[in-house]
Structure 1
């Protein structure tokens, strides 16, 4: 039987703690002129929002820590280091629960060097802590179930308010509690506690999490490891995916290039349109102490005709005119792409996909035309000829 006396005591205590009348339900809706309504308080792109939790998920070793470091520097320096809009005057707290401070110092210093962020741009605005020096545990598992560690939450609230933190990044989420990550009830409780903390402190909180194994299939934010309640509690979720071997070939990245390229896709968004896929890569930065450190930077997928002009097309047309090279890339040395590669200084083997895209684009525009020409055995073969000449 329910203890109504105890419930009454709890209700009286609740009312005493909320003298503004927050316990009076239901609350009457009062219409306001749309012009008077406040805009959503975004702080970084359409991913981080005050009073809300955002989640970033990625497989191990893709570059999520490097990414969040550069994003933190972008926010405190008030510069769009990765092309994302940032609010002004932000204080950022990076709380890495895996790496020691020496490693964090190396990564941050390398990122500042690579993106030309000066020390005075981050002074007094960037805060960095590690789980090696101070563990963070927001919840523990007991016989009765998961229990929120209130002293830890209250300590975080005090520190966020005292330092006027606008954005807090917790990396990784799994190290911030001791509950079973497959327990959806527990994860829901913990995630909502983070959301309450963000609301109380008027800050944005980013929880960085790992994906489960996807066996080579591109991950989504729903592939985050453990219970789905974490993503459900977030108002923005994004996923990082490493560039595939096929994509590397399409982009013309040479096999000996060991650089990590990855995509960032905001595929879960309750308060903004879902974002398009953007590319990043991890550049290797040499520090004066001899260390090489990976730093995230913006990267654009190369355009088929990057570095070439209409003069180059005209040169290709002159080289093709009257020769009727074969359209098929299976024609060996008779393939039209061999001529294109020779004229443009490309490799007909390594750059095959790019050359094929060029030929298709020229056919579509009418710069080249396809026609049937009999070979030595009098069999008709699709070949290329000049169509509309390019302008000088």
Structure 2
């Protein structure tokens, strides 16, 4: 165990380097007119905020790096590429600690091509570096504990200030230090150093992090790998989750569709309401050099009646009228959904859930109605008939 006097000396040195307030404590509160109080300096949606650290957590291979690339392009081009609001005139620094520059160039170029971002829109505003060319190490751990690498932090601060960086994205967080990720004391010290850097440079810092293994269950930010201190120090946290097979079926996506669909859920926010989940998907973009590169884009959960209108309902009613098909989807070819599928050009097996939702919606609206019809053994079976006829 370290000597107490040594710890006291280090604490005094730390306070000298990071003064909190020059005045004597405690400081009295002075009430001000609420209308005169400054608003929170949001930068991107309700996730990135000046002077604060945000965390994005995701399992491997979902698309977190591609997502942050498109978000960076949105911020520098001042266009809502993913439907999120952003402040104007932002400079963004992407610091990827895993991939080589050639790979980053492919991903950024493919994202620009897919989203129609012109080179002049990013020139002088988007900065890209990789850990392959210059490693980033903000802290090291020894037998005496964790130590912040102050020259590295100072160098980051100089670059952020010189380039007028508004958003720094570090991907992944685990590669930015040499401390035990399960050591909460160490992670707390490192996370708070990132927060001090954000405050010192008046910028937002995004730390991209991995989840631990969840054995197929949906992850939350609480499932981030290692100590919980990282999330505790962040003012905003969001988690990415891959679409499940059940969700694919509900959305009407073919089982053999290999596209990656994922949700983005802001489930940890100290300064804004927790957000609802939004959907994204990875699309393959072909570049002129023959490479195919994944790019993140907006994807909306399909509405039950997308592509259909009142005349389609009228066609279904005409097909059902007088037949009294069975209500239960267990009735095989006698199920009403078989008629619906035939009229609307759907597959009664692959689109079964969607057809069932349509039938329930038409029952609620009165366009269809339930009736009881005796089968061959005189047992009553629930069937469907036309209710209120649709008008075009």
Same fold, TM-score > 0.5, yes or no: yes
Tell me how far apart the structure 1 counterparts of residues 21 and 321 of structure 2 sit (CA, whole Å).
Answer: 84
CA contact 1:322–1:385 (8 Å) conserved in 2: yes
Q: What's the TM-score, normalizing by structure 2? A: 0.96
Mapped to 2, the partners of 1:330 and 1:226 lie a distance apart of: 48
Find the aligned partners of 1:94 and 1:14 in 2 and give their Cα distance. Answer: 32
* Partner deviation per Cα, 1:203-236 (whole Å, 9 max, x = no partner): 0000000000111110000000000000000000
Partner in structure 2 of residue 168 of structure 1: 168
Describe the superposition over 1:183-207 as per-residue Cα deviations: whole angstroms up to 9, x where unpaired: 0000000000000000000000000
Alignment of 1:282-361 (within 5 A): 282-361=282-361
Q: Shift of residue 388 of structure 1?
A: 0.5
Q: Deviations along 1:146-186, whole A, 9 cap, x unmatched?
A: 10000000000000000000000000000000000000000
Structure 2 CA distance, aligned partners of 1:117 and 1:138? 33
Give the count of matched residue pairs.
Answer: 387
| Distance in 2 of aligned mates of 1:276 and 1:113 | 29
| Deviation (angstroms), 1:25 | 1.2
Structure 2 residue ranges without an equivalent (≥5)? none
In the TM superposition, what is the alpha-carbon distance from 1:3 to its structure 2 partner?
5.8
Output aligned runs, 1:257-296, within 5 Å. 257-296=257-296
Number of the residue aligned with 1:33: 33
2-structure distance, mates of 1:10, 1:344: 75
RMSD: 1.8
Residue 59 of structure 1 is matched in structure 2 by: 59
What's the offset of the Cα at 1:23? 4.8
- Distance in 2 (alpha carbons) for counterparts of 1:23 and 1:161: 27
The 2-side partners of 1:111 and 1:21 are apart by 45
Higher mean Cα deviation, 370-379 or 337-346?
A: 370-379
Q: Deviations over 1:19-63 (max 9, x none)?
A: x96252111221111111110000000000000000000000000
Structure 1 counterpart of 2:75 = 75
What is the distance in 2 between the residues matched to 1:285 and 1:250?
26
- Aligned partners of 1:302, 1:14: CA distance in 2, in Å? 57
Gaps of 5+ in 1: none
TM-score by length of 1: 0.96
Task: Quote how far apart the aligned CAs of 1:255 are.
Answer: 1.8
Alignment match, 1:139: 139
- Residue number in structure 1 paired with 2:221: 221
In structure 1, what is the Cα distance between the partners aligned to 2:103 and 2:70? Answer: 15
- What SS does the aligned partner of 1:349 have? coil
How far off is 1:256 after superposition?
2.1
* Alpha carbons 1:52, 1:203 under 8 Å: kept: yes
SS of match in other structure, 2:195: helix
CA distance in 1, matches of 2:22, 2:192: 19
> Once the 2 structures are TM-superposed, how far is the Cα of residue 257 of structure 1 from its aligned partner?
1.2
SS in 1 for 2:237: strand
Relative to 1, partners in 2 of residues 1:113 and 1:21: Cα closer, same or farther, differing over 3 Å?
Answer: closer
Distance in 1 of aligned mates of 2:186 and 2:244: 35
2 CA distance for matches of 1:188 and 1:215? Answer: 27
The whole-number CA distance in structure 2 between the counterparts of 1:361 and 1:308 is 13
The answer to whether the Cα contact below 8 Å between 2:238 and 2:267 also exists between their aligned partners in 1 is yes
Is the CA contact 1:67–1:296 (under 8 Å) kept in the aligned structure 2? yes
Q: Is the 8 A contact 2:245 2:255 kept in 1?
A: no
Write the distance in 1 (CA, Å) between the matches of 2:276 and 2:68. 19
Write the distance in 2 (CA, Å) between the matches of 1:10 and 1:351.
67
Tell me the CA shift for residue 111 of structure 1: 0.2
Asked if the contact 1:55–1:207 (Cα under 8 Å) also holds between the matched residues in 2, the reply is: yes
Query: Structure 1: how far apart are the matches of 2:249 and 2:235?
Result: 35
